[in-house]
Copies of this chain bind each other. A is one copy, B any other.
Amino acid sequence: MDSIVLKELGNFYVRGHEVILHDQPKQKFVCQDGSEQTVDLNGQFEAGQMYVEYARLAEPRAKYPLLMWHGGGLTGVTWGSTPDGREGWQSLFLRFGHDVYVSDSVERGRSSWAMYPQIYRTHPEFTTKAACWSNFRMGPVFDEDHAKRVAYKGTQFPVEFYDEFCKQIVPRWRSMDDWAQAAYDDLVGRFDDGCVIMAHSQGANFAIPAALAHPDKVKALVLLEPARTPDLNTTDFSVIKHIPTLILWGDFIKVPELCAWTKAAYFDIYPKYYELMKGLGAPIDWIDLPERGITGNTHLLMMDRNSREVAQAVQDWMTSRGLMK
């Protein structure tokens, strides 16, 4: 396989601000081993920052850097190697010729998190394996007994590595999206010569507002099974009607047990968004992978066994929309 020839490998943080806590009582605990521990919550901390890592090619063939934004309960690891150890999209899109920027949303992974409820507004949510099984469309039946879990017939997800995938799950907050949005907006604002956003699932909830905030800087939106949009009735989307947009979906959506978020996104929110943007004359495309004969994809299509084929479909779309040199 060809080498990846990098000019630079690095990282930085966007946003973040100082928080000062005084007069918090010290927390004392007895550990399982009987030892005592005291935690002092007073002092100065940074909060609200977002971690961004980049790999820049010696000779990029794409016109713009590619920003990869993960979905809910996850981090930038989404774009890394697959749970069964195959090459991930971060690496694949470097091979396709893109400079790649992978971020961990505020509160997740290397972006750190802040104490609650003193700094963050609420407790975090701990996503269960059961919730992911449903929300990521692994199969019709989940059971705590691994042997009783039933995956979809023909699934492309390497289900024998489902628990390995679950190691990527991080606690998330449902109450701090405004901080995450501010960080994403700040990130996009740094690309004076433009960038392309590839957003998975919840990532799209931030990507469209970031494009609305920086319509001159976002050169394309690749929305992989996107979750939500800004309010379709009150938002003026005309400022982003020039931005090439791809909305892409996998398989197992037309099933009776479909989870609520996908049902709303696929059957209600995004058809309306697509029609609205079409009506504005936007260069927007809707791809159902099964209609192209690419079947078996779950919500984690960048980890599915045919992840390379799905990546190629996205890359072909980018080429068709003039995003390569």
Is B7 within 8 A of A90, CB to CB? Answer: no
**Residue A31 is within 8 A (CB to CB) of chain B in the complex:** yes
A193 within 8 A of B: no
Contact of A110 among B6, B9, B109, B124 (CB under 8 A): B109
CB-CB contacts of A75-109 with B at 8 A, as 1s and 0s?
11100110001011011001000000000100001
CA distance A115 to B123 in the complex (A): 10
Q: A13-B167, A46-B166 are in contact. Are A110 and B110 (CB under 8 A)?
A: yes
Which of A50-58, A150-158, A282-290, A305-313 contacts its partner? A50-58
Whether A122 lies near B167 (C-beta < 8 A) is no
A131 interface contact, C-beta 8 A: yes
Map CB proximity to B onto A226-244 as digits: 1 under 8 Å, 0 otherwise: 0000000000000000000
Task: For A24, give the chain B residue with the smallest CB separation.
Answer: B126
A110 and B76 form a contact (CB under 8 A): yes
Please pick, from B10, B53, B110, B126, the residue contacting A45 in the complex, using a CB distance under 8 A: B126
A149 to chain B, nearest CB (A): 11
Q: Which residues of B contact A163 (CB under 8 A)?
A: 18, 46
* CB-nearest residue of chain B to A118: B126
Shortest distance between the CB of A8 and any CB in chain B (Å):
7
- In the complex, the answer to whether B80 meets A53 with C-beta atoms within 8 Å is yes
* Cβ A9 vs Cβ B20 within 8 A: no
A49: contacting residue among B13, B75, B167, B171, CB under 8 A: B167
Q: Is A268 in the interface zone, CB < 8 Å from B?
A: no
Distance, CA A163 to CA B48, complexed state (A): 13
Best-surrounded residue of A33, A88, A94, A122 (most CB of chain B within 10 A): A122
Q: Are B130 and A166 in contact (CB under 8 A)?
A: no
Is the CB of A112 closer than 8 A to any CB of chain B?
Answer: yes
A39 near B123 with CB under 8 A, answer yes
Does A175 reach chain B (CB closer than 8 Å)?
yes
Q: A29-B117, A49-B167, A144-B20 are in contact. Are A43 and B10 (CB under 8 A)?
A: no
CB neighbors of B among A1-16 (8 A): 1, 3-13, 16
C-alpha gap A25/B165 in the complex (Å): 27
Interface centre among A5, A40, A44 (most CB of B within 10 A): A44
A170 at the interface (CB under 8 A from B): yes
Q: Smallest Cβ distance from A97 to chain B, in angstroms?
A: 15
Residue contacts A-B, CB under 8 angstroms, 14 given: A8-B87, A9-B94, A10-B88, A11-B77, A11-B80, A31-B121, A31-B175, A32-B121, A33-B175, A37-B175, A39-B122, A43-B128, A44-B129, A46-B169
Chain A positions within 8 Å of B, measured between CB atoms, are: 1, 3-13, 16, 18, 20, 27, 29, 31-33, 35, 37, 39-46, 49, 51, 53, 55, 58, 75-77, 80-81, 85, 87-88, 90-91, 94, 104, 109-110, 112-115, 117, 121-126, 128-131, 144, 163-164, 166-171, 174-175
